[in-house]
A = this chain, B = another copy of it.
Amino acid sequence: MISKKMEHMVANSSAIRAMFEEGNRLAKLYGKENVYDFSLGNPNVPAPEAVKQAILDILSEEDPVVLHGYTNSNAGYEDVRQAVADSLNERFHTAFSAKNITMTVGAAGGLNVILKSLLNPGDEVIVFAPYFGEYRSYTNNYDGVLVEISPNTVDFQPKLDEFEAKITPKTKAVIVNTPNNPTGVVYSEDTIRRMAAILEAKQKEYGTDIYLISDEPYRELAYDGVEVPYLTKYYANTIVGYSYSKSLSLPGERIGYLVIPDEAADSEALISAANVATRILGFVNAPTLQQKVVKYCLNEKTDISFYDRNREALYNGLKELGFECIKPEGAFYLFVKSPVADEKAFCAAAKKYNILIVPGSSFGCPGYVRLAYCVSYETIIHSLPKFAELAGEYDRR
């Protein structure tokens, strides 16, 4: 009796659930410390101490009726939105004000809000494989059609020729995610410039507006001083979806924002639509206490040296064992080539060593697997001998 649209999604979801339960089962059987669970992107670095202090300060300073009340606008507290805008302007030399910021229930909430605002049934949304699998569901929620650009497995920068060829008059949005889940790759400034030029030309050719949606939960998780270009500066019709889930280690609190710049086509209507979508999708407003926390913690950042150490240890360890993998510049994922074409078989083989990893097919890129290294350093170090045994299975062939 559940809706037809949901039926196959429930089936898919059971697979993820099964994997999670398998992890629990293994942990009970062998002890948690002997299970190497690289399957989930749930930060394991605690929120900065400043978050706790902010909550204490807010509770003692703010009127509870206002603090826990509905915000006047569905976009959130005016002061919080202005503070977010100011902070972005300072960091990226942009010129946003409060009205350009809509506080959201994380980036997932923000993406739903903007796709609800934009999509008519049949509108096309382009994504670059490998991509976060949820984009398919978000697009499907509003009867959009997901169009995949095949993966460039050389360096995992997007294939721009194929991109250009697949833009049609029905293309309404393009989603990019950099630093990328699942590859950890940061799209280069050159990539962004060329992508923007293609979009400009296609908009002109078709007389349409194509929105570039930048999904940025990993913006602050960039290593070795790599620059992550701020996309509104390269292309006018850019919408940014940000989340504090990883930058402040608050994924469960559901707090992020959308940036809808004045330069974007129909900016005012789009801002109004985002307000309405926030309301009618049932978000109503981003959780209010966490909105205030964000304002108090704009200059705080989770300790990424922890992830960086994990990155080096896992990347170097796997390379030494002969695994093929590009070194990630951001996020907390490693995207490793499966030693056999059927990466699901490889995931199954890994499980024999209590190693849990996710098949690349979930990201539109079969033949690869994703490892989330937001785990303890010990997990990584202790997993390496197991990976060695796993690798041994394939050397022998």
- A residues near B (Cβ < 8 Å) are 1-6, 9-10, 13-14, 20, 40, 42-47, 51-52, 55-56, 59, 63-65, 67-72, 105-106, 108-113, 116-120, 134, 137-138, 140-142, 209, 249-254, 265-266, 269-270, 272-273, 275-277, 279-290
Contacts and interface: CB of A to CB of B under 8 A. Distances in A.
Q: In the complex this chain forms, how many copies of it are found? A: 2
Contacts of A69: 42-43, 249, 251-252
A6 B117 contact: yes
B282 A1 contact: no
Given A4-B120, A270-B1, A68 B249 contact: yes
Interface residues of chain A: helix, strand, loop or mixed (majority): helix
A282 B106 contact: yes
For the complex of A and B, 4 pairs with smallest distance between CB atoms: A252-B288, A112-B282, A108-B282, A137-B280
A68 B250 contact: yes
8 contacts: A2-B270, A3-B142, A6-B116, A6-B273, A46-B64, A47-B64, A110-B282, A138-B280
Contacts of A250: 68
A1 B253 contact: no
A282 B105 contact: yes
B52 A276 contact: no
B47 A254 contact: no
